[in-house]
């Protein structure tokens, strides 16, 4: 709406910045490859082994100024001669990037002139996020539950087969075939009952068994942690902005 009203372009800063970084890295790798020239690749004795990474080409040298490159990349994606509306949500996958965006903006002389902060109450954030991922969490809970049940059935069947093999290998002196079969059935019935009790106890004491409510609580705590991190990031950005404005 802001872009349409004031005829401004919108910029998804972090995604555009990281795309530029990837392009520049590929360019540097190609230059290193051309500068080195042809180099034979030694054959690997193991045909199924992963090919070795050519670090001489793929990795930047130790004296490479990464910070200067970051500043240059940011300047190239944030032009200074036109107005932009920049998306300030710089978190990807719940993790912070390895660089400090406010510092980059400051060092590249691209600090925003106006900052609009839309804040959401923590409890509302939790409620909305849980609602958005409710189906995914339920599906994950069912997947884990079914996987756990299948593993239990498999483990029980393997143990049962071992018990049957043990009974079949035993010697039964002075017993008729019918008596032997009856004894095996009694042994297996007793084994099944004992196994049922064992599995009930294990299930009651298993802290790792799928628990939908626990999954929701963990998700809620993760959302709260993100809210706290966002608050800290906003304070950091505010500090950088004030420092930059005072320096002008």
Crossing angle for the helix pair 13-36 and 66-77, nearest 10 degrees? Answer: 120
DSSP per position, the chain:
-HHHHHT-EEE-HHHHHHHHHHHHHHHHHHHHHHHH---PPPPPS-TTSPPPP-HHHHSPPTT--HHHHHHHHHHHHS-SSS-EEE-----BTTB--SS-HHHHHHHTT---S--------HHHHHHHHHHHTHHHHHHHHHHHHHHHHHHHHHHHHHHHHHHHHHHHHS--TT--HHHHHHHHHHHHHHHHHHHHHHHHHHHHH-TTS--HHHHHHHHHHHHHHHHHHHHHHHHHHHHHHHHHHHH-
Look at 146 and 86; give whichever has higher pLDDT: 146
Residue 197, pLDDT > 90, answer yes
* pLDDT of the residue at 14: 83
Query: What distances in angstroms separate CA 47 from CA 41, 44, 51, 54, one per listed residue?
Result: 14, 6, 9, 18
- pTM over 0.85, yes/no: no
Residue 223, pLDDT > 80, answer yes
Percent share of the chain, pLDDT over 70: 92
Q: pLDDT averaged over the chain?
A: 86
How many whole angstroms separate alpha carbon 8 and alpha carbon 16?
17
pLDDT confidence bin for 248, thresholds 50/70/90: low
Give me the residues paired with residue 9 across strands: 84
Residue 155, pLDDT > 60, answer yes
Residue 49, pLDDT > 50, answer yes
Give me the residues paired with residue 86 across strands: 11
* pLDDT of the residue at 41: 65
Q: What separation, in Å, do the N-terminal and C-terminal C-alpha atoms of the chain show?
A: 30
Residue 95, pLDDT > 80, answer no
In whole angstroms, what separates CA 6 from the centre of its chain? 38
């Amino acid at each position: 709406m802001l872009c349409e009203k004031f005829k401004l372009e919108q910029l998804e800063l972090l995604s555009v910045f990281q795309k530029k970084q990837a392009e520049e890295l590929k360019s540097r790798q190609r230059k290193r490859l051309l500068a080195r020239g042809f180099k034979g690749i030694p054959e690997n004795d193991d045909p199924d082994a992963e090919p070795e990474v050519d670090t001489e080409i793929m990795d930047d040298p130790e004296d490479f100024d990464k910070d200067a490159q970051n500043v240059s990349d940011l300047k190239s994606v944030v032009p200074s001669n036109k107005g932009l509306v920049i998306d300030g949500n710089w978190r990807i996958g719940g993790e912070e990037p390895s660089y400090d965006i406010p510092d980059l903006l400051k060092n590249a002389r691209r600090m925003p002139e106006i900052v609009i902060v839309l804040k959401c109450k923590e409890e509302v954030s939790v409620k909305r996020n849980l609602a958005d991922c409710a189906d995914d969490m339920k599906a994950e809970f069912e997947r884990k539950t079914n996987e756990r049940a299948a593993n239990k059935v498999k483990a029980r069947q393997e143990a049962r087969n071992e018990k049957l093999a043990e009974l079949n290998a035993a010697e039964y002196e002075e017993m008729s075939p019918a008596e032997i079969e009856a004894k095996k059935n009694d042994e297996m019935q007793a084994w099944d009952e004992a196994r049922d009790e064992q599995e009930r106890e294990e299930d009651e004491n298993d802290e790792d068994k799928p628990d939908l409510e626990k999954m929701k609580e963990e998700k809620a705590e993760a959302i709260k942690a993100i809210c706290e991190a966002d608050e800290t990031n906003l304070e950091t950005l505010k500090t950088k902005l004030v420092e930059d404005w005072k320096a002008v």
